[in-house]
């Protein structure tokens, strides 16, 4: 395991925090540092963690009510006038409901609008399928000018919030609802567009993961090591623009790739990795993600298990891709 | 322009020629074609992107870009896109076409101006920079507008003036048959807006309305401009069939002759 990760990562009582906390903390820091940063929400200030910002910087905070399309358009106008708006809602609503506005008002004009999608993945849990965003990566990465990042923990989410403010142009990042393990530390390298190797036991296969499932991937890799299968784990936090060099490197080194994300398999991070590999260095790929269906109510871990994104599923996918590679 | 392009919308742009003339040539705007992005400028956004030929023609005549470029409308490589693209041309502040998106963008500008004026960051002369947004009437059928109308009303965005091209037509027919908008003025009033109704072909009345809107500090203003679609070309006037198509060569020549000379107008009437 990379010595730049949380040393207590594999402990039973590893610290856990929802990734959206990192967003809230990042915004507070930006409020202090950058007077152009403004925050908008659609009646979800508390659960998207922008409430502290709204209290500290009321003149730079806009409550838009339950109206995501208008919120997105307002953000486009603010950005056209030189502000750096962060729009905050659940991903099923923004960008989900406001896709046309993101396409026309934001991306076509190449405006500096940052979209924070909270409550993504089946691990949203009891709220059920209506609130579990599983298509957001696909609908954002297809848009020209858009950057797409999936932070793996609260620390990375904070770093990404700060980095977005310094990177001109439209950008989208997604968060989880539940607490997830702290994987990184303040010193772990983070750069938009740069994937990092977090675990390298060997080169039987590469696991390319994003979001909080990086944790499950590391657990799977560790268990596989004791079972004689040696893999490399990559945190591929930036879906777009993708780190093509790193994808080529692990494909060359390992000859087989498993992608893991809490998103529909179709059109997600794994699809983006496959696009890169097919064009540059084709190797067998297995995809772990939502298998073309909607979720349901339940506990996060039950849902990850049922829909095939648990440690067990990751290990099965690794064994499968490893077998394909040896044929 | 439409004849050269071979596609585009005829009726709307003709109906809004007087409003655009009043806005750019009626001493309403604080703008400078030679310094089109100066910080303290008033902003004009066109939500009903399909009527952009009248905006382009106005900007060209006001000196924002060479008039010869008008004939490149809708052609490959042109800055005059079929629907306006943000900053593709000097003076074009908005991307629009898919209806209902302009007012929200305009609100963003109005908020940013308000913040910058409050922070002393924007050089302000006699008055706060203003934001104008032009909408078609039928695009009010898009729900996003009502989200925007609620927001602007709640926030008393007085430096926002919306102009509605009330020409009563849309692609499938008359607005009141397709999806009624009336009572339009009452709807805006109920959302905390000031409402001014004008004859959209009386330039003096339109200029007065713009000036009046600037004197209202309580809330945003909507100017409902009652216009005749296809105004100035007899065979296009009032006909929704002309909403979305360009004239052919003969029709184009006849339209230009009617628009340019009284003789042309008389000739057409006696044919």
- Greatest Cα pair distance, chain A, in angstroms, is 63
pLDDT tens for each residue of B125-184: 678 999 999 999 999 999 999 999 999 999 999 999 999 999 999 999 999 999 999 999
Q: Which residues lie across from A115 on neighbouring strands?
A: A87, A172
Q: How many helices (H) and strands (E) does chain B have?
A: 11, 7
A251 interface with B at CB cutoff 8 Å: no
**DSSP string covering A212-275:** THHHHHHHHHHHHHHTT--EEEEE--EEES--HHHHHHHHHHHS-EEEEEEEESTTSHHHHHHH
The architecture CATH gives domain B2-269: 3-Layer(aba) Sandwich (3.40)
- Contact, A231 vs A264, CB < 8 A? no
pLDDT tens for each residue of B206-216: 999 999 999 99
Which residues of chain B make contact with A78, given a CB cutoff of 8 A?
108-109, 111-112
Contact B144 A101 (CB under 8 A): yes
Looking at the annotation, which residues of A are catalytic?
Answer: 68
Domains of chain A, CATH where assigned:
16-181 (3.40.50.970), 196-326 (3.40.50.920)
Which residues of chain A make contact with B40, given a CB cutoff of 8 A?
none
Nearest beta carbon to residue B93 from set A62, A80, A83: A80
A79 interface with B at CB cutoff 8 Å: yes
Domain boundaries, chain B: 2-269
Query: A251-275 burial by CB neighbour count: b if 16+ within 10 A, else e?
Result: beebbbbbbbbbbbbebbbbbbbbe
Nearest beta carbon to residue B111 from set A78, A100, A105: A78
Q: What are the structure tokens assigned to A312, written together? A: 């067990």
| CA–CA separation, B62 and A317 (whole Å) | 65
| CA–CA separation, A181 and A153 (whole Å) | 7
- What is the pLDDT averaged over residues B184-198? 98
Q: Which residue of A has its CA nearest to B153?
A: A64
Residue B132 CB: number of other CB atoms within 10 A?
A: 23
Which residues of chain B make contact with A71, given a CB cutoff of 8 A?
104
- Average pLDDT score over chain B: 94
Is pLDDT at B204 greater than 80 in this prediction?
A: yes
Q: Give, as one character, the DSSP assignment of residue A188.
A: S
What Cα–Cα distance (Å) separates residue B70 from each residue in A81, B17, B32?
27, 15, 19
Torsion of CA B175, B181, B184, B188, to 10 degrees: -130
Strands (E), chain A: 16-17, 37-41, 61-63, 84-90, 114-118, 147-149, 171-174, 180-181, 196-200, 205-209, 231-235, 238-240, 257-264, 285-290
Please report the pLDDT score of residue B48 as a whole number.
97
Contact B107 A70 (CB under 8 A): yes
Q: Give, as one character, the DSSP assignment of residue B66.
A: -
A37 interface with B at CB cutoff 8 Å: no
pTM of the model: 0.96
| CA–CA separation, A175 and A49 (whole Å) | 11
CA distance B100 to chain A (A): 9
Please report the pLDDT score of residue B125 as a whole number.
67
Q: Which residues lie across from A184 on neighbouring strands?
A: A5
ipTM of the complex: 0.94
Q: Which residues lie across from A310 on neighbouring strands?
A: none
**What residues of chain A score a pLDDT lower than 70?**
1
Please report the pLDDT score of residue B268 as a whole number.
73
- What is the pLDDT averaged over residues B80-87? 96
Q: Which residue of B has its CA nearest to A109?
A: B86
Contact A104 B112 (CB under 8 A): no
A144 interface with B at CB cutoff 8 Å: no
- Contact, A9 vs A1, CB < 8 A? yes
Contact A62 B105 (CB under 8 A): no
Is pLDDT at B271 greater than 70 in this prediction?
A: no
pLDDT tens for each residue of B214-248: 999 999 999 999 999 999 898 998 888 888 889 99
Please report the pLDDT score of residue B243 as a whole number.
87
Please report the pLDDT score of residue B209 as a whole number.
98
Q: What angle do CA B22, B24, B29 make, to 5 degrees?
A: 105
| Selected residue with higher pLDDT from A247 and B264 | A247
B149 interface with A at CB cutoff 8 Å: no
């Amino acid at each position: 395991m990379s010595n730049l990760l949380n040393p207590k990562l594999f402990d039973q009582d590893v610290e856990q925090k929802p990734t959206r906390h990192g967003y809230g903390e990042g915004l507070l820091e930006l409020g202090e540092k950058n007077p152009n940063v403004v925050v908008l929400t659609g009646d979800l200030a508390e659960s998207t963690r922008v409430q502290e910002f709204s209290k500290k910087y009321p003149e730079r905070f806009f409550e838009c009510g339950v109206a995501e399309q208008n919120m997105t358009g307002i953000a486009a106008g603010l950005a056209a006038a030189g502000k750096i708006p962060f729009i905050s809602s659940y991903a099923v609503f923004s960008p989900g409901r406001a896709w046309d506005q993101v396409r026309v008002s934001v991306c076509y004009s190449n405006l500096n609008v940052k979209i924070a999608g909270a409550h993504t993945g089946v691990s949203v849990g009891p709220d059920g399928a209506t609130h579990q965003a599983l298509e957001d990566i696909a609908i954002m990465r297809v848009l020209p000018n858009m950057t797409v990042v999936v932070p793996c923990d609260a620390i990375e989410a904070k770093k990404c919030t700060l980095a977005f403010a310094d990177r001109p142009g439209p950008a989208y990042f997604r968060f989880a609802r539940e607490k997830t393990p702290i994987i990184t530390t303040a010193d772990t390298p983070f750069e938009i567009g740069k994937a990092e190797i977090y675990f390298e036991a060997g080169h039987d296969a590469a696991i390319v993961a994003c979001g909080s499932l990086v944790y499950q991937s590391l657990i799977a890799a560790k268990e596989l090591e004791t079972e004689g299968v040696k893999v490399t784990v990559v945190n591929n936090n930036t879906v777009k623009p993708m780190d093509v060099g790193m994808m080529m490197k692990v494909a060359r080194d390992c000859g087989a790739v498993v992608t893991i994300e809490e998103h529909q398999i179709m059109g997600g991070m794994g699809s983006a990795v496959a696009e890169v590999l097919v064009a540059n260095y084709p190797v067998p790929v297995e995809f772990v993600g939502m298998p073309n269906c909607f979720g349901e109510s339940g506990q996060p871990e039950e849902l990850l298990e049922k829909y095939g994104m648990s440690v067990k599923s990751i290990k099965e996918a690794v064994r499968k891709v490893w077998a394909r590679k040896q044929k | 322009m439409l004849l050269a392009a071979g596609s585009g919308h005829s009726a709307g742009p003709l109906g809004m020629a007087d409003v655009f003339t009043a806005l750019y040539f009626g001493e309403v705007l604080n703008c400078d074609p030679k310094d089109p992005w100066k910080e303290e400028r008033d902003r004009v956004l066109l939500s009903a992107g399909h009527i952009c030929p009248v905006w382009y023609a106005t900007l060209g005549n006001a000196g924002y870009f060479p008039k010869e470029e008008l004939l490149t409308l809708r052609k490959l490589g042109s800055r005059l896109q079929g629907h306006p693209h943000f900053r593709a041309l000097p003076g074009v502040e908005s991307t629009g076409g898919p209806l209902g998106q302009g007012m929200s963008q305009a609100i963003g500008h109005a908020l940013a101006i308000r913040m910058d004026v409050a922070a002393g960051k924007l050089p302000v002369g006699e008055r706060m920079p203003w934001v104008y947004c032009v909408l078609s009437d039928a695009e009010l059928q898009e729900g996003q507008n009502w989200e925007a109308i609620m927001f602007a009303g709640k926030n008393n965005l007085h430096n926002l003036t919306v102009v509605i091209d009330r020409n009563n037509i849309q692609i499938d027919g008359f607005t009141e048959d397709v999806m009624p908008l009336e009572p339009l003025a009452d709807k805006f009033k109920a959302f905390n807006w000031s409402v001014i109704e004008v004859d959209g072909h009386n330039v003096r009345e339109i200029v007065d309305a713009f000036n009046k809107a600037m004197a209202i500090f309580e809330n945003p203003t909507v100017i409902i401009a009652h216009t005749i679609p296809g105004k100035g070309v007899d065979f296009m006037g009032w006909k929704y069939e002309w909403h979305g198509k360009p004239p052919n060569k003969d029709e184009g020549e006849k339209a230009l002759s009617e628009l340019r000379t009284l003789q042309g107008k008389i000739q057409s009437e006696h044919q």
